[in-house]
Amino acid sequence: MLLFLLIATAVAMLATRPHSPGSGLLAAGAQAAGVRHGASLPGPTATPVPVPTATPRPPLFSTRWLDAHPPLDVPPITAQGAIVVDLGSRQELYAKDATTPRPPASIMKLMTAMVALDDLSPSRMVTVSPSATAVEPDHMGLTAGEQLPVTDLLYGLLLDSGNDAAMALAEAVPGGANAFVAQMNAKAAALGLPGTHFVDPDGLDDANRVSPYAMAAIGATALDQYPLVRKVVGTKQIVIPSTPTHKWFNPINLNDLLWAYPGTYGMKVGYTDAAQYTIVLAGQKNGHNVLIVLMGSQHHFTEGRALFTWAYAHLPADAAA
């Protein structure tokens, strides 16, 4: 009888003991956090790319001025999503379905550039892998085995829209491309950009999702906090001379408005069949800095030019008040 009581007591204690987190709970938590499983990025082992929850924070841009001044005469645009921001006052001047996440195509390379500079110094030499040269066009024109500094790769990334440069930068960080994409998602969450989700470093995969508002926040952050990115996106063309470690390169900016619309100083263009034309534009006139994002456009340069002209004509003296 005593033995029976001891056994019954032990069973009851085990049944009521609090459980510590185990692999089952961790797996459930990973699914709730939106962990992406698959092997779309190169590497010896397929690893999940986490998608952190965006931290709630005050909006980067205000709608106060827009709410008081409805844009009745804004130019017609084909873009499915758009936003126009006065960077000085952080006031939205125009928005069209600006919070719906969409495939961004190559304009998301602005985030790629920022994350690369978070981990790598501009002078850091990067060795180009065969997998980096195997990605689809557009290409900077890298050859496997070449070694280039991060700065030169940024010119190929943001002027040529080089997918090979994007992958070379991603593979250079500890943990490789999968870890790099995880950092992109972590940075988007830290900026408080809900709905933003990256699956590659170059924008080729249309599973990438960013809203026009989020792209405006990414663009504004790049301009404010990354002077090298600001310099690169405003460069029309640059010659990178050959060295003992790499051949000659001549990146040319794909942003036509750098030439065609005075005051334009950035930032990035993109295209895929699903995303259509996308663009992030930055320009200045009469002391006002304007940022424009167009996504899902049929005529991104024409519409960007029209919105610049409209915005400069609709910046009241009290925009920052």
- C-alpha distances (whole Å) from 257 to each of 252, 270, 302 are 13, 14, 9
Signed CA dihedral, 93, 96, 100, 106: sign only: negative
Q: Please confirm, yes or no, whether 285 is among the known catalytic residues.
A: no
Instruction: Tell me how long the chain is.
Output: 321
Q: How far apart are CA 101 and CA 193, in angstroms?
A: 10
DSSP state, residue 197: B
- What whole-number distance in Å separates Cα of residue 197 and Cα of residue 43? 20
Residue 223 corresponds to which tokens in the numbers above?
Answer: 């301009």
Please name the residues in contact with 237: beta carbons below 8 A apart, sequence gap of 6 or more.
Answer: 159, 250, 251, 252, 253
If phi over 0 gives left and psi between -120 and 50 gives alpha, with beta otherwise, what is residue 225? alpha
Q: Is 96 an active-site residue?
A: no
Residue with tokens 């301009």: 223
Q: Is-catalytic flag, 247? A: no
- Contacts (Cβ under 8 Å, ≥6 apart) of 266: 219, 223, 230, 233, 234, 255, 258, 280, 281, 282
C-alpha pair distances (Å), 166 with each of 60, 117, 253: 27, 12, 16
Catalytic hit among 40, 62, 96, 109:
109
Catalytic member of 40, 129, 131, 161:
161
- Tokens at 109, concatenated: 């390379």
> Could you list the active site residues?
106, 109, 161
